[in-house]
């Protein structure tokens, strides 16, 4: 990925304004665009252009598609993050375009988790499009149109464009190749054909639309017409009764290093996921214990933070395939997430426990769903109590920074516990400190 986020905002405006102009000259033309994040940027920076897009969406020419916040990576993010991608995306499309998306659109991601069919169905979609597995450099993926079955048995009707690209140039040879490469033509003799210049190239050109118009019904060529992707899937559902099924992960056999490149970025992603989960849990407890008049759940700020995390799960950011400038931007976003979420978490804890500095006991809360034992750092204001009142007569100090540490042992899941300085437990010799 060869440009920073700010350039993406400008590229979207340039490309989509060009497509709006083409729609005036080609009333049959239909243009699909994914990623709710791009639409939100457009609404913030180019509101008049966004309104023109909304108008064309109502006529059916401009098609918001995909249902997710960005076209995310599907290997590194947690299951909760995948759910948030759909939650944020579908909510945005419903609010600004009046409907959610029933086609999950992810043509360029580096492999697809077996969790996805279940999540896709629960998010209100039932169709899936990609073409990335056509780039496999070891095993050729055996299907074009099939039912993808997830771990729980949920399935989505899936199609991989047999043109093997999402940037076709509208040439006769590409249409012919789409028929030759269709691996499930015995069940369905139709396919999707994605055209236009990608990677900031502006999308479809006037010359492409002219060629498509001329190739609509030519002897020797497949018939081609402009349509909403939903029409294709609905027709397949009605006419293809014996599609094959693929169960489990859709593994991509080409791009390597996506679990290791830019390891710091991957670390910040995982820390953000854990931090936001803990923060939301504690804020919910604070809300239920304090009541609306005493504590207000910070829904707006938590949504903003989740949008930043989901943005950085874009399929060319968290896998490590973007330029250095992107990761400097990403570092600043994660710093914002950590700073804000920690403040929210600390405020929620203060509302749950009151003024913690008035007591000498150490309050511990296990935010996981299982019993935990962990070495914890005693806050500075409680350190004197743990040093003077320690019932074991031994105080354990971390060598790296001189902090007092203690063992929180066997804390039940989703439960609070207080540690009295006089009842502190010593750590076993095999417990390692870092």
Catalytic residues: 108
For the purposes of burial, counting CB atoms within 10 Å of the CB of 226, is it exposed (0-12), middle (13-18) or buried (19 or more)? middle
**In this structure, what are the phi and psi dihedrals at residue 264, rounded to the nearest 5 degrees?**
-60, -40
Token code pair at residue 183:
């691996």
Token code pair at residue 417:
């516990």
Give the span between the Cα atoms of 384 and 316, in whole angstroms: 49
Cα→Cα distances 207→22, 23, 210, Å: 11, 13, 5
Nearest to 366 by CA among 337, 406, 404, 409: 409
Give 134's DSSP letter: G
Cα→Cα distances 167→128, 140, 304, Å: 18, 20, 33
Give the span between the Cα atoms of 83 and 20, in whole angstroms: 32
Nearest to 390 by CA among 357, 420, 429, 356: 420
What DSSP line would sit under 231-282, residue for residue?
HHHHHHHHH-----EEES-B--SS---TTTSSHHHHHHHHHHHHHHHHHHHH
Give 168's strand partners: 195
Token code pair at residue 67:
């249902």
The total number of residues shown for the chain amounts to 434
3-class secondary structure, 365: strand
Give the span between the Cα atoms of 115 and 326, in whole angstroms: 28
Contacts of 150 by beta carbon, 8 Å cutoff, 6+ apart: 114, 115, 116, 117, 118, 247, 248
Helix (H) or strand (E) holding 8: helix 5-25
The residue whose two tokens read 């354990």 is 396
Contacts of 6 by beta carbon, 8 Å cutoff, 6+ apart: none
Give the span between the Cα atoms of 197 and 350, in whole angstroms: 53
Give 146's strand partners: 158
């Amino acid at each position: 990925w060869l440009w920073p986020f700010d350039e993406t905002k400008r590229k979207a405006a340039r490309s989509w304004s060009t497509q709006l102009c083409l729609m005036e000259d080609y009333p049959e033309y239909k243009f699909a665009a994914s990623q709710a994040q791009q639409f939100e940027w457009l609404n913030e920076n180019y509101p008049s252009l966004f309104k023109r897009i909304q108008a064309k969406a109502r006529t059916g020419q401009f098609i918001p598609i995909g249902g997710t916040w960005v076209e995310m990576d599907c290997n590194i993010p947690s299951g909760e993050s995948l759910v948030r991608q759909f939650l944020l995306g579908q909510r945005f499309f419903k609010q600004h375009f009046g409907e959610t998306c029933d086609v999950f659109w992810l043509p360029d991601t580096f492999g697809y988790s077996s969790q996805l069919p279940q999540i896709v169905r629960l998010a209100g979609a039932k169709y899936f499009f990609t073409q990335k597995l056509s780039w496999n450099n070891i095993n050729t993926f055996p299907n074009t149109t099939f039912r993808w079955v997830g771990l729980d048995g949920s399935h989505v009707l899936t199609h991989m464009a047999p043109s093997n690209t999402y940037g076709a140039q509208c040439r006769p040879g590409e249409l012919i190749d789409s028929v030759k490469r269709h691996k499930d033509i015995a069940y369905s003799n139709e396919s999707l054909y994605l055209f236009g210049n990608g990677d900031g190239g502006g999308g479809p050109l006037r010359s492409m639309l002219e060629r498509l118009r001329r190739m609509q019904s030519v002897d020797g060529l497949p018939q081609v017409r402009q349509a909403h992707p939903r029409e294709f899937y609905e027709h397949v559902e009605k006419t293809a009764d014996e599609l094959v099924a693929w169960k489990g992960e859709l593994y991509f056999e080409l791009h390597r290093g996506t679990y290791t490149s830019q390891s710091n970025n991957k670390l910040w992603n995982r820390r953000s996921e854990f931090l936001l989960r803990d923060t939301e849990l504690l804020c919910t407890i604070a809300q239920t214990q304090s009541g609306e008049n005493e504590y207000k759940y910070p829904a707006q700020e938590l949504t903003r933070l989740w949008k930043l995390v989901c943005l950085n799960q874009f399929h060319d950011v968290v896998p490590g395939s973007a330029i250095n400038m992107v990761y400097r931007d990403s570092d600043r976003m994660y710093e914002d997430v950590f700073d804000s979420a920690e403040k929210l978490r600390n405020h929620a804890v203060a509302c749950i426990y009151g003024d913690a500095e008035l007591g000498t006991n150490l309050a511990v809360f296990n935010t996981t769903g299982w019993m935990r034992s962990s070495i914890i750092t005693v806050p500075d204001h409680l350190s004197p109590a743990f040093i003077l009142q320690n019932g074991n007569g031994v105080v354990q100090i971390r060598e790296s920074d001189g902090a007092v540490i203690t063992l929180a042992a066997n804390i039940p899941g989703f439960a609070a516990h207080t540690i009295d300085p006089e009842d502190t437990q010593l750590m076993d010799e095999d417990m390692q400190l870092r």
